[in-house]
């Protein structure tokens, strides 16, 4: 993994080379601050927790700019408020993105509106043959990747809408999204729940329209504040 990190030029927001180290040898400082200040990412090499941290490392390789920005913001929030019983609104939103975030890439307002209004019929079923050409979904959250090893119907990501061509290369999306993240833009309300197994083509069972007739999973909800990239 460190060889791949070197080849990819992974670095913190401050430009420190990134390196994955055995969590048992990690310094006695908060995790996010350790990464920001040293470039060392504590990584569990044995169960429990090994797969979770493995997917975290893969997320760094796939989304290096986004991960570095989330780390920078998280560490700065800890600098400002310390670590208490509750993380606070900003750190909650950062953690949500880091663990369970997905990029919902689309430049057609009708699909974005369907997502934000919890209109699952319109989003997933009415024009399902067009979904793949109109929308790209990229899983960022490493906890989601771990859960997808044993997928279940209610598995839900938290979608961050990126208003762009769904064919945009991942590296370009990574850079652009990272540049938009700040203490002002990162709010829980900016995310929209997205049942992952409902995405056309992601799960064989959703080819049956009755799959979506499950209000415990495909439920209504609040309107979400728009986020724009």
- 115 and 149 belong to one structural domain: yes
Radius of gyration, CA atoms only, the chain: 18
Based on the fold, state whether residues 79 and 160 are members of the same structural domain: no
The answer on 102 and 72 residing in a single domain is no
How does residue 165 score in pLDDT terms, banded at 50, 70 and 90?
very high
Q: Is 210 exposed, middle or buried (0-12, 13-18, 19+ CB in 10 A)?
A: exposed
Where residue 222 falls among pLDDT bands split at 50, 70, 90?
low
CA proximity to 132, closest of 140, 145, 123, 141: 123
Interval 82-137: pLDDT, tens: 887 778 999 999 999 999 999 999 999 999 999 999 999 999 999 999 999 999 99
CA 195/CA 217 separation, integer angstroms: 7
Mean pLDDT of the chain: 95
Residue that is written with structure tokens 């290096």 in the block: 64
Show the CA angle centred on residue 227, arms to residues 218 and 122, nearest 5°: 30
Counted domains in the chain:
2
Look up residue 102 and give its two tokens: 């997905």
Question: What would the mean pLDDT of 27-52 be, rounded to a whole number?
Answer: 96
- Structural domain of residue 17, as residue ranges? 2-83
pLDDT surpasses 60 at 223: no
Query: Do 39 and 128 sit in the same domain of this protein?
Result: no
Angle, nearest 10°, between helix axes 64-81 and 170-180?
20
Could you tell me which of 45, 42, 47, 35 has the C-alpha nearest to residue 11?
35
- 30 and 136 fall within a common domain: no
Local confidence band at 181 (pLDDT 50, 70, 90 cut-offs): very high
- Report cis status (omega within 30 of 0) of the bond before 124: no
What's the confidence (pLDDT) of residue 81? 83
- 229 part of a folded domain: no
| For residue 54, pLDDT beyond 90 | yes
């Amino acid at each position: 993994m460190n060889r791949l990190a070197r080849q990819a030029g992974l670095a913190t927001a401050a430009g420190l080379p990134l390196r994955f180290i055995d969590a048992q040898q990690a310094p006695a400082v908060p995790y996010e601050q350790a990464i920001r200040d040293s470039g060392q990412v504590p990584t569990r090499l044995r169960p429990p927790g090994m797969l979770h941290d493995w997917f975290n490392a893969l997320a760094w390789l796939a989304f290096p700019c986004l991960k570095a920005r989330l780390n920078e913001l998280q560490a700065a929030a800890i600098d400002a408020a310390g670590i208490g019983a509750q993380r606070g609104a900003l750190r909650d939103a950062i953690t949500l993105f880091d663990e369970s975030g997905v990029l919902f890439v689309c430049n057609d307002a009708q699909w974005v509106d369907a997502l934000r209004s919890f209109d699952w019929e319109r989003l997933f079923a009415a024009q399902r043959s067009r979904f793949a050409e109109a929308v790209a979904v990229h899983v960022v959250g490493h906890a989601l990747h771990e859960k997808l090893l044993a997928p279940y119907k209610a598995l839900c990501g938290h979608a961050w809408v990126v208003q762009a061509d769904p064919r945009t290369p991942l590296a370009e999306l990574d850079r652009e999204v990272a540049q938009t993240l700040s203490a002002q833009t990162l709010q829980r309300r900016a995310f929209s729940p997205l049942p992952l197994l409902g995405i056309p083509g992601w799960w064989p069972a959703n080819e049956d329209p009755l799959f979506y007739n499950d209000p415990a999973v495909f439920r209504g909800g609040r309107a979400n504040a728009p986020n724009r990239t």
